[in-house]
Amino acid sequence: MEKPPIRPTADTRPFWDGCRNRILRYQACEDCGAVQRIPRGACANCHGLRLSWRDSAGQGTVLSHTTVHRAPTAAFKADTPYVIALVDLDEGFRLMVNARGAPLAIGQRVRIGFEPRGDQAVPIAEPETP
């Protein structure tokens, strides 16, 4: 069974276009400098409308993680068990992503890579190597 396709909205299209090109992008307000945790049409901090998309270095710290043993749908059953991590990126935004590679620990440094999904790519966390 195929995993669900990525369906960008007007607010998230720049994020997903970046992922397709293996670039992690995030939204920031040009008026107050706040970084948006969730892309939207107005700044959550000052309600300004001058928002821009910036490229992230793709490095961050694991805030939390869990291992999924029961897939939410049949499309993900073959992947179980898999790890989902909350990662605080150095630029000030947070992602919930699947993790690949060595087991994770809270506080561990990771980098964001990309995994193909259809004609798109999804971000994943991988342990940062020295």
State pLDDT tens for residues 11-26.
Answer: 999 999 999 999 999 9
Separation CA 122–CA 98 (nearest Å): 9
Tell me, yes or no, whether 5 lies in a domain: no
Tell me, yes or no, whether 47 lies in a domain: yes
Name all contacts of 123-127 with Cβ < 8 Å and 24+ positions apart: 123/19, 123/24, 123/95, 123/97, 124/97, 124/98, 124/99, 124/100, 125/60, 125/62, 125/85, 125/87, 125/95, 125/97, 125/98, 125/99, 125/100, 126/99, 126/100, 126/101, 127/101, 127/102
Tell me, yes or no, whether 4 lies in a domain: no
Average pLDDT, the chain: 95
Say what the pLDDT of residue 130 is.
66
Tell me, yes or no, whether 3 lies in a domain: no
Tell me, yes or no, whether 2 lies in a domain: no
User: How would residue 107 be classed by pLDDT, with cut points 50, 70 and 90?
Assistant: very high
Say what the pLDDT of residue 129 is.
78
Tell me, yes or no, whether 7 lies in a domain: no
Model pLDDT for residues 27-57, shown as the tens digit of each residue? 999 999 999 988 999 999 999 999 999 999 9
Residue of higher predicted confidence among 5 and 17 = 17
Residue of higher predicted confidence among 109 and 101 = 109
Q: What is the mean pLDDT of residues 107-113?
A: 97
Say what the pLDDT of residue 103 is.
86
Return all residues near 79 (Cβ < 8 A) that are at least 6 apart.
71
Separation CA 23–CA 104 (nearest Å): 23
Tell me, yes or no, whether 6 lies in a domain: no
Local structure of 78: helix, strand or coil = helix
Domain span holding position 39: 12-127
Tell me, yes or no, whether 1 lies in a domain: no
How many structural domains compose the chain?
Answer: 1
**This prediction's pTM:** 0.91
Say what the pLDDT of residue 101 is.
86
